[in-house]
Amino acid sequence: MERNISVEELNQIPTPKKEVEIVERKGIGHPDSVADGIAEAVSRSLSKYYLEHYGRILHHNTDQVEVVGGQSAPKYGGGLVLEPTYILLSGRATTKVGNDRVPYKSITIKAAKDYLRNNFSHLDVDADVMIDSRIGQGSVDLVEVYDTSKLEANDTSFGVGFAPLSETENIVLKTERYLNGSLKKKLPMVGYDIKVMGFRQKDTINLTVAAAFVDKYIKDADEYFNLKDQLKDLVLDNAVEETDKEVKVYINTADIRENSKSVGYLTVTGMSMENGDDGSVGRGNRVNGLITPYRAMSMEAAAGKNPVTHVGKLYNVLANKIANDIVQEEGNDIAEVLVRIVSQIGRPIDDPHVASVQVIYEGNVDHSKHKNNIRNLVNDRLAHVSDLTMQFVEGKITVF
């Protein structure tokens, strides 16, 4: 198979050397990430059911989850969830196989609840959320085209990836993972809804962190502001390990101390969806975990898409993987690489319309050697695109 692979040199300044850079990450408890996480969990559960009963993953796309925020009344010492968050699952699934009917609705609402229970310890899934499912059967015509045994692209779409991450990008990613990871042992009152905005201007990195606190652990505003100071120091210590640049940290900048009503960013469950914040799939992080307006991005929502033929899922992850592999294998000569893969509906997924690689080299380099290596690497990764499928099903690839 002769694949259409374009490798092009870009003669331009790599992102980290530009004057300004903006990077954002929505933590796993952000409503958009909650929607992504549920969508992907639902797809994994359906995939496992199909595999177990029919030996292959049948068509589905559950990349439509709407999180409609509830109402809460947090307060120091512990408040109340007043109205549960409403979560609507939609999308499509294979609901019938021959004469067998698939218990798709039960599988999907159970997967959603399990995901919430396993990830958000302050949430009472029985009382704080209501889950509805309007997942339906796919269009009869499209199901044929989508037939997942043919491994043809389901849509005319594309994936985008780049490598390596800049310092700012690394710090933003690392900060959220720290806050939703090991920091919880030191400061258990830090909730799951965390948003990290990195804004680098020349050699200064500004980290603006919005972090929901869990009210029951904090007795009053003094303790809250004290904890914010501790958190600021910890975030700073964690960030400076990654960079020599100056780092400035801002936590919950909307807090107004003097205003008795609105003193801090308190929540009952550690998640802002409890109180009016809505979310939906595909509006948050890209598959590399970041939102990067100074970089190329795809608009495709990967979470919840079927992991067999949906190029919006496969090609975005593959483009990032290819970019990373190129940087790793071609070594220091490469300053930055951008990868886009374009499908056309009906073409085999391992033979895209085009795979386009743009490379920014470091200084004077013999490009011809790299160009060939890159072409071979891309060719190889495309040939093995279907290896990704089971990694999605097993949860080994994150998509947001």
Answer yes or no: are the C-beta atoms of 280 and 38 closer than 8 Å.
no
Distance set, CA 225 to CA 251, 253, 341 (Å): 10, 12, 48
Task: List phi, psi (to 5°) of 261.
Answer: -80, -35
Q: How far is the CB of 226 from a second copy (least distance, A)?
A: 20
- Across the chain, which distance is largest between two alpha carbons, in Å? 69
Give the C-alpha separation, 249 to 349, whole Å.
44
Closer residue to a second copy in complex, CB, 99/396 = 99
Q: How far is the CB of 264 from a second copy (least distance, A)?
A: 9
Q: How far is the CB of 333 from a second copy (least distance, A)?
A: 19
359 Cβ partners below 8 Å, 6+ apart? 7, 8, 9, 10, 326, 334, 336, 337, 338, 367, 370, 374
Answer yes or no: are the C-beta atoms of 30 and 194 closer than 8 Å.
yes
Closer residue to a second copy in complex, CB, 182/262 = 262
Within 10 angstroms of residue 24's Cβ, the number of other Cβ atoms is 18
356 Cβ partners below 8 Å, 6+ apart? 5, 6, 8, 339, 340, 341, 342
- For residue 244, give the DSSP letter: S
Residues paired with 338 in a beta bridge: 162, 358
Nearest to 270 by CA among 127, 123, 79: 123
Q: Would you say 71 is a known binding-site residue?
A: no
Q: Would you say 138 is a known binding-site residue?
A: yes
Answer yes or no: are the C-beta atoms of 400 and 316 closer than 8 Å.
no
Q: Would you say 264 is a known binding-site residue?
A: no
Give the C-alpha separation, 195 to 54, whole Å.
41
Q: How far is the CB of 375 from a second copy (least distance, A)?
A: 14
Closer residue to a second copy in complex, CB, 107/377 = 107
Q: Would you say 233 is a known binding-site residue?
A: no
Closer residue to a second copy in complex, CB, 66/390 = 66
Q: How far is the CB of 185 from a second copy (least distance, A)?
A: 27
Closer residue to a second copy in complex, CB, 164/284 = 284
Closer residue to a second copy in complex, CB, 139/149 = 139
- For residue 320, give the DSSP letter: H
Give the C-alpha separation, 92 to 60, whole Å.
5
Task: List phi, psi (to 5°) of 296.
Answer: -70, 140
Q: How far is the CB of 90 from a second copy (least distance, A)?
A: 4
Closer residue to a second copy in complex, CB, 197/221 = 197
CA angle 349, 350, 353 (to 5 degrees): 75
Closer residue to a second copy in complex, CB, 160/179 = 160
Q: Would you say 136 is a known binding-site residue?
A: yes
Q: How far is the CB of 6 from a second copy (least distance, A)?
A: 5
Q: How far is the CB of 169 from a second copy (least distance, A)?
A: 15
State the binding site for ATP: 136-141
State the binding site: 136-141
